[in-house]
Structure 1
Amino acid sequence: MRSVELVSGIHSSVLGFGCAPILGAVGRREADRALGHALDCGVTHFDIARSYGYGEAESHVGRFLAGRREELVIASKFGIRATWKAGLLRPLKPLVRTLKGQRKPAMGPPSSTEIQSTPKRDPFHQRIPLTPAAMQASLEQSLKALRTDYLDLFFLHEPLGAIERLDDLVEAAETLKQQGKVKGWGLAFDWASHSMVAPSFSRFEVLQFNNSPGSQHYAQALAARRDQPNVFFSPLRGAGGLKPNRVLEQMWSDFPNSVILCSMFKPEHITANAEAAGE
């Protein structure tokens, strides 16, 4: 599979695996099958966050990827975490998945590149202060859960507005890089907040945001970020009827230095997306 260098020394497969559904909408066995198949297909970029899987996804992914760390690019985020109430859902999640699986989808099966949705405000997730101390604490928790000494990419997770104390955060990120705990520093955001966070873009090495050929902001993103290092999610949202492989191929052609995240849990979807990302 082709790769791109998002940050100096970090070579990611152009197709990334979005881990948000793991231990949320997707159970352990299905997740493990998908992770294993993605690895077999050449996927090396795995995207996760403290909040994913109601706080359980990092630990699960860390256990599964143990022993292959040097082959992989692992990206995580800070800024949103699961609350204590999320733990109450643990025994109920298998039942919820079973009930959902028994329902017939109204609009056909999920898209092969269906992507994660990030929790904003709900009883099971909360935003943490965007301070150096909170960032350090979140990172240490991620490293422990993921069974690693470092993250390849560490993202600030979807701030809702202008980022306060940004100078302090950038300084703390540089310290973490010097310590070898983080290799690259980025901002993950929803394009709806673009105007509020855009003044901070130059302070980050990588941007991660929703992008699709059918989105209203695609041309704007293309003009500003064509050759820049990006990580995209929600590639099929509003894609105008284009087949998934055509969407991916167009985006990689338009943004040659970018990774596209897909939350893909069916082997046939992983295979098809990997083929689109081939040499």
Structure 2
Amino acid sequence: MIDRLGFGCVALTSFATPGEAMRLLNTAYDLGIRHFDTAPIYGQGYSERLLGRFLRGRRDRVTVATKFGLTPPRTPNLPLAAALALNAVRRRLARRRAETPSAPATAEPVEPDRRRIERSEIEAAFDASRRSLGIDHIDLYLLHEEVPAALTPQAFDYLQSLRASGKVRRLGLAAPATRYGALSPEDLEGWDVLQYEAGPAWPGSAGLIARFPAQQHIFHSCLKGVARDGDPQAAGRALAERLTANPQGLVLFSSTRPDHVRTNLRVLAG
């Protein structure tokens, strides 16, 4: 089962030093993980750079997923060590603010305007991700939090050209499962992968594998809602259940604790 498990890099920049992030990634790799998932928005771009450092010397032994479309690309401009130290300070300040009582918000939430994603935005994002990751091709390139209707025809054609040239091996969507409800199989022509949350906390994901059999499915956020109750093996069993429910796909999990990674994979291996 471990060969169908992937590691999510959303929390890499929660560490105070690059060395701590490398130890976590090396733990996952040494235990058999070979798929790593990141995005430009994770840690303001520094998650991709940390993963890029980890990939040196082992690129041909792993697959890498990153994303585009959620925000315009930005280029990280601080050294990794300085960026992580600054993030640590920001987290401390955020915790202090959270401890300070504040008046409840009364404004109604505003629904953001749906925007169109242009080819030029994807070109810039793709080049920025390859530079940050230090790789010549991206194994899985995912449209982040959107569906194909958000793309202009020129943007869609550009993505297809990236795959045809081998610069991208597969294309996919990484949106909430509920957003796939209005799609038909025809809407997914040209897309290889659907990535979404799945598990006890996500009833909206039920039935998507049967509805879209032409795509590989990747589950994430599978441990939300899992009752631990002091049971260190509960998370590992939950991952095993999601792998069984997705026999042709992958399951992602994330952690900042090497010991938790070891425990989860020990349960799966057993």
**Which TM class, normalised by the smaller chain length?**
0.7 to 0.9
Per-residue Cα deviation, 1:101-142 (whole angstroms, up to 9, x for no partner): 99xxxxxxxxxxxxxxxxxx9xxxxx9852222212211111
Q: Distance in 2 between matches of 1:128 and 1:22?
A: 29
For residues 11-68 of structure 1, give each alpha carbon's deviation from its aligned partner in whole angstroms, at most 9, with x where no partner exists: xxx1111111122x33323311110101100111010111111121111210122111
Alpha carbons of structure 1 residues 31 and 48: separation in structure 2 relative to 1, 3 Å: same
1:179 to 1:202, Cα distance in 2 relative to 1, 3 A: closer
- What TM-score results when the alignment is normalised by the length of structure 1? 0.75
Aligned to 2:155: 169
CA contact (8 A) 1:49 1:76 kept: yes
Name the CA distance, whole Å, in 2 between partners of 1:54 and 1:221. Answer: 31
Of residues 254, 270, 275 in structure 1, which corresponds to 2:245? 254
Which residue of the partner structure matches residue 44 of structure 2? 54
Q: Which has the larger radius of gyration?
A: 2
Given candidates 130, 134, 139, the residue that maps to 2:126 is 139
* 1:155-199 deviation per Cα after TM superposition (whole angstroms, max 9, x unaligned): 11112794242x433322221123221100101101232335556
Q: 1:93 aligns with which of 87, 97, 106?
A: 87
- The answer for the alignment partner of 2:264 in structure 1 is 273
Distance in 2, Cα, partners of 1:207 & 1:87: 32
Cα offset for 1:82? 7.0
The one-letter amino acid paired with 1:17 is: F
Equivalent position amino acid for 1:178 in 2: A
Q: RMSD of aligned C-alpha atoms? A: 3.3
The percent of aligned pairs where both chains have the same amino acid is 30
Secondary structure of 1:138's counterpart equals helix
Gaps (5+ residues) in structure 2?
A: 97-109
Paired letter, 1:155: L
Question: How many residues are paired up?
Answer: 244
Q: Could you tell me which of 236, 244, 255 is aligned with 2:235?
A: 244
8 A contact 2:178–2:205 mirrored in 1: no
Structure 2 Cα separation of the partners of residues 275 and 143 of structure 1:
33
The corresponding residue for 1:159 is: 146
SS in 2 for 1:184: strand
TM superposition shift of 1:100: 7.9
- How far 1:217 moved relative to its partner? 2.1
Task: Classify the secondary structure of the residue corresponding to 1:152.
Answer: strand
Which stretch shifts more, 55-64 or 141-150?
A: 55-64
Q: Which runs of 4+ in 1 moved over 4 A?
A: 86-91, 97-102, 196-199, 225-228
Check the 8 A contact 1:26/1:97 in 2, yes or no: no
User: In the alignment, which residue of structure 1 is the partner of 2:177?
Assistant: 191
Match of 1:273, SS state, is: helix
Query: Is the deviation greater in 260-269 or in 70-79?
Result: 260-269
Q: Quick one: higher RCO (CA 8 Å, sep 6+), 1 or 2?
A: 1
Q: Which has the larger share of helix?
A: 2
The aligned residue for residue 22 of structure 1 is 12
Displacement, 1:273? Answer: 2.2
Matched, 1:63 2:53: yes
- Contact kept, 8 Å, 1:191 with 1:210, in 2: the verdict is yes
Would you say the 8 A contact 2:144–2:175 is kept in 1? Answer: yes
Return the structure number with greater strand share: 1
Counterpart-to-counterpart distance in 1, 2:268 and 2:118: 38
Cα separation, partners in 2 of 1:240 and 1:192, compared to 1, 3 Å: farther
Q: Per-residue deviation at 1:272?
A: 2.2
Tell me if the contact between 1:228 and 1:257 (Cα under 8 Å) persists in the aligned partners.
Answer: no
1:9: which partner in 2? Answer: none
1:155-234 alignment to 2 at 5 Å?
A: 155-159=142-146, 162-165=149-152, 167-196=153-182, 200-224=187-211, 228-234=215-221
Distance in 2 separating the partners of 1:187 and 1:136: 17
Give the structure 1 partner of residue 106 of structure 2: none
Specify the SS of the correspondent of 1:75: strand
